[in-house]
Amino acid sequence: MYTVASGDLRPAADITGWPSRQELEADLAAVLTDLGRTVRLAHAVDEKKGHGFIDSQRAGIEVFKQLPPDAPLIVVEGANNCCGMHSRISTNVFFSLTLGGARPVRHPGLLPPMGGFVRSS
């Protein structure tokens, strides 16, 4: 089972949100382990950038090209709470978890729609 995490076009937002994303990933892994499943991030963490978000369309295309077509996929979306282009990046990071559902690439490994949850840190 794989997770993917879409990022932001602003590098500072991705760097700020990455620790919360890692915490969510650990929480999700613990729950899935209890259910007898394993999960891993479908793309690499870029230590030079300071985060592991998918931060461009090109990066996203490459991630989805390498996923096994029958692998279950969990999409984790994140957003920094930021008001305006010149405001400081907030430490309030919101994540939405989607299990299954439609994706543009129609990955056959998606789980049936199961709802989701929103987590704020």
Q: What are phi and psi of 99, to 5 degrees?
A: -105, 115
pTM, rounded to two decimals: 0.65
With a cut of 70, say whether residue 20 has pLDDT above it.
yes
Predicted local distance difference test score (pLDDT) of residue 102: 38
Q: What is the pLDDT of residue 57?
A: 87
Q: Where are the domains of the chain?
A: 2-120
Tell me how far apart the alpha carbons of residues 5 and 26 are, in angstroms, rounded to a whole number.
14
For the segment 103-117, what is each residue's pLDDT rounded down to a tens digit? 444 444 444 444 444
Whole-number pLDDT of residue 109: 46
* Average confidence (pLDDT) over 10-37: 88
Note the pLDDT tens digit of each residue in 32-88: 899 999 899 999 999 999 999 998 888 888 998 898 888 888 887 655 554 444 444
Report the pLDDT averaged over residues 6-35: 87
Q: Where are the beta strands (DSSP E) in 42-83?
A: 73-80
Q: Residue 81: phi, psi to the nearest 5?
A: -80, 105
Determine the Cα–Cα distance for residues 23 and 70; give it in Å rounded to an integer: 27
Quote the distance between the C-alpha of residue 117 and its chain's center. 13
Please report which helix (H) or strand (E) contains residue 117, including its range.
Answer: strand 116-120
Instruction: Please state the separation of Cα 33 from the chain's center in Å.
Output: 18
